[in-house]
Homo-oligomer: A and B are copies of this chain.
Amino acid sequence: MKLITRDIDYSIRALAYIAKNNSDKISVTKLVKETKIPRPFLRKILQTLGREGLLESFKGKFGGFKLNKSPNDIYLLDLFEIFQDKFDFNKCIFKKKICPNTKDCVLKEKLDHIGEMVKREFGKISLQSIIEGR
């Protein structure tokens, strides 16, 4: 099971670079040079990060991207919620015949609980902390 998909991986790398150079607008061209991420894929990713409000985008010549929030306010959890469609750990798996109690299934409850735990942890990992290595 992969927790960090390519989308998220590339997002972190790109965001990290942009954050470190946040005085400039950073173009995809620049990012591709720096990170070797496949161009059209990176483009798609940045476009969604823009739509989702993590990045501000500037069109036209000498355009590019900047952070739209402080690196202290961007969390790994955000990326998971953007790229892992709503990040659902727990899906009802039993049918009536087997599952002991359909109404409030223990298994589901427990998985739910684990999911919440993980979310909380991802909610603690900020872009800033990743950049700083703290």
Seen from chain A, the residues whose Cβ lies within 8 Å of a Cβ on chain B are 1-5, 9, 12-13, 16-17, 34-36, 80, 84, 87-91, 93-95, 97-98, 100-101, 105-107, 110-111, 113-115, 117-118, 121-122, 125, 129-134
Complex interface: chain B residues within 8 A of A84 (CB): 1
B13 x A94 contact (CB < 8 A): yes
Chain B nearest CB from A125 CB (Å) reads: 6
Measured in the bound complex, the distance between the Cα atoms of B17 and A97 in whole Å is: 9
Name the CB-closest residue of B to A113: B121
A1 x B89 contact (CB < 8 A): yes
Complex interface: chain B residues within 8 A of A1 (CB): 1-3, 5, 80, 84, 87-89
Q: Which of B34, B110, B129, B133 contacts A101 (CB 8 A)?
A: B133
Name the CB-closest residue of B to A125: B110
Q: Which of B12, B97, B117 contacts A117 (CB 8 A)?
A: B117
Complex interface: chain B residues within 8 A of A118 (CB): 114, 117-118
Chain B nearest CB from A95 CB (Å) reads: 8
Given the known A-B contacts A106-B129, A118-B118, are A34 and B97 also in contact in the complex, defined by CB atoms under 8 Å?
Answer: yes
B12 x A93 contact (CB < 8 A): yes
